[in-house]
Structure 1
Amino acid sequence: MQLTHIPEDQLPAAIAAVRGHLAPGTLARQVFDRIAATLELVPQGYDTPAHRAQAVELCHRFGIETIDEAPQDAYSYDGRAIRTRSEAYVLIHEVAHWLVAPPERRGLKDFGLGAGPETGRIDEANAVLSVDQETQIEEEALASLLGILWEAELGQPAILAFLEQNWLEGWERPSCAANLAENVQRLHGRGLIDAAGRPIPPESFAAGVRRAA
């Protein structure tokens, strides 16, 4: 949920302010510019059937099963499959959680992070909570940003999720850009984005997992 609404007429100023705190040529600046550029896609629609189809396809490209049910009926991710009766950006966010989570937690309901906001069987999901609060916060931030980058990669208006998930909160302050830069570096350090800030595609991600094994 967006903490502070940014009026549409203030959005260009907010984007310019954050950009001004990110040095040209840096990884964070490349990431930010790619996300900001999707503002021009907003008039073409958001969470369209095509967007949802892309999100489901992305699940399958990473070898994640899907179930045509609402997450409120069970779990967003049940340790095997993502339930797909949700918005496109939510499905992509779940894929990002799968990528961020270590392999040993990909078999747990909601990745062992506790119940997600759309999960219906809250007590069961919370029963397999396996991490501390610091890890929850870190992985949520990384999954949020990685999901947004996948939206941009798929040609979807990622700027809307960027706003909704509060990446422009406090845009007037340098700390907003610093927070983005810190999480960009974490994604890069984990091998989830490349040197240009683009998400690692499934075939390269799988190869990286095999090399690391």
Structure 2
Amino acid sequence: MCKRPMPLQQAAEPNLTEHTLERLRKMILCGDLAAGTPLQERTFAERLGVSRTPLREAITRLITEGLVTRNTRGTPTVSRISVSEIVEILHVRRLLECEAARQAASVNSAPEDWLNFKATIEEFVTNERPNAVAHADFDFDLHMHIAKTAGSKLLAELIQGLKLKTRIFDQGEIPSRFQPGALEHIEIIDAILARDPDAAEAAMRQHIENAREAILAHIHRLS
């Protein structure tokens, strides 16, 4: 009996690829890998203790997310996000997330989840402020919960991709936004709990507008 030839390259185990993806994504979002850093396969496979296959698959996912691009030589490189791209991303986020907040306030969702988010915010404000990574994780989880509650898988996926691209600015880069951002999040949650779509949309719009102004001011200070 003839045996089937082995494939030239086997796919990595899903769990290993996901683990590698999460580690690389966190390194980018936390600033451990600066914009423009080349992701050489051999170097990072050794650094992460994995073979090249899961690393290659993880990098492909990061390219899809926009966190990594290929330079003129084809080398995957941590993306640089220009001011014009930030403006465009935040503009689209405002359109999508305002709609998500409106829809989230229009459905009959479990109040316990929203109350838990609100309690965590109040804990952040009244007690010791969380570190930058913990705060960014919470911010991401809250925005994604709103998007998923809206009930559209496509809407949630679009918001997730755009949020990842701007998340680096939530890593403690703009400490002056912590307190105002927390109060804005509470306002959004209260509107959703009250099932007031207009108020939820308005609160989200104000939140993203304020974040946009703070990010642009931060970028200009650095330039």
Q: Which one has the bigger helix percentage?
A: 2
Larger radius of gyration: 2
